[in-house]
Structure 1
Amino acid sequence: MFKKGFSALLMLLAFSATAVPTDDITQILSMQEDAWNRGDLDGYMQGYWQSDKMRFVSGKKFRYGWEETLAAYKKNYPDKATLGTLKFTIKDTKMLSNYAAIVVGRWQLTRIKDQPNGVFTLLVEKIDDRWVITHDHTSN
């Protein structure tokens, strides 16, 4: 009896440990989507690690640092028309450990003149008890 109960408890703890981080990670992207759609790039960037070691890769460019990434977003998306409406679709979240995950998905912008879209791969890590994006590779 004890073995069965103990095994069930271990399984419950294992499922609980993996369910919470994926919910937290999904919440980051949801928060980013909401901030983008309000035109709040500073709010959008709260999902990223505020460090000069944060990396953003897109097109043929490597960007390092939270500040540099925010400046690039503000330059490339100066107004609500260029921001459009953002929609993320998460295809897969793979927990690498209790402190790291890979998230793969699609992004779509809906604007009056066009609908650019593409894919992303994120490394999301738990740093200082908070889940943040430490590496973002986004492409069209």
Structure 2
Amino acid sequence: MFKKGISVLLLCVAFSVNAVPTDDIASILEQQEAAWNRGDLDAYMQGYWNNEQMRFVSNGKFRYGWEETLAAYKKHYPDKATLGHLTFTIKETKMLSNYAAIVVGRWSLERVKDNPNGVFTLLVEKIDDRWVITHDHTSD
């Protein structure tokens, strides 16, 4: 009986460690933040789903597709001065299922001329065994 109890306990511990992937999801934003701050937009985009159905909503516009989003980032942030220093602050991660989560937070840029900031809501999904942002709604 004692061995069975330990086995059940170990099984519960193993599942509880992997049951809530919020650390994996937070890691996406940490990696994006680091990539942005070193001026590497290609690496920044690795957090997004590389698919034409990936959606980015900002400034009243809908943008679809990984390539189009990367091109827009490169157009609007052509150099280190415009990129500035990015900080993400996650306010909440709500698991919708084992394969989807909503992340709500704040973003801020520190630049020489200004310090824009705003909020974001992300749909993060597990696709091909990897967590990626499939929908990003960012506003000032």
TM over 0.5: yes
Cα distance between partner residues in 1 of 2:129 and 2:38? 27
> Which residue is equivalent to 2:98?
98
Determine the C-alpha separation between the residues in 2 that align with 1:12 and 1:88. 31
Amino acid across the alignment from 2:17: S
- Number of matched residues? 139
Distance in 2 (alpha carbons) for counterparts of 1:70 and 1:83:
14
**More divergent stretch after superposition (115-124 vs 5-14):** 5-14
1:16 deviates by 2.1
TM-score by length of 2: 0.91
Deviates more, 1:127-136 or 1:7-16: 7-16
- Backbone CA RMSD of aligned residues: 1.7
Between the aligned residues of both structures, percent identity stands at 75
**5+ unaligned residues in a row in structure 1: which ranges?**
none
- Give the corresponding residue for 2:48: 48
Is the partner of 1:90 in helix, strand or coil? strand
Query: Could you tell me how far apart the structure 2 residues matched to 1:68 and 1:81 are?
Result: 22
- 2:84 and 2:58 map into 1 onto residues whose CA distance is 19
Cα distance in structure 1, aligned partners of 2:11 and 2:136? 34
Question: TM-score, normalization: structure 1?
Answer: 0.91
Kindly report which structure 2 residues correspond to 1:1-140, keeping only aligned pairs within 5 A, or say none.
8=9, 11-19=12-20, 21-140=21-140
Off by >3 Å, runs of 4+ in structure 1: 1-14
What is the CA distance between 1:12 and its match in structure 2?
3.2
Distance 2:122 2:14 in 1: 26
What one-letter code is carried by the residue in structure 2 that aligns with 1:46? Q
Moved more, 5-14 or 54-63: 5-14
Structure 2: runs of 5+ lacking an equivalent = none
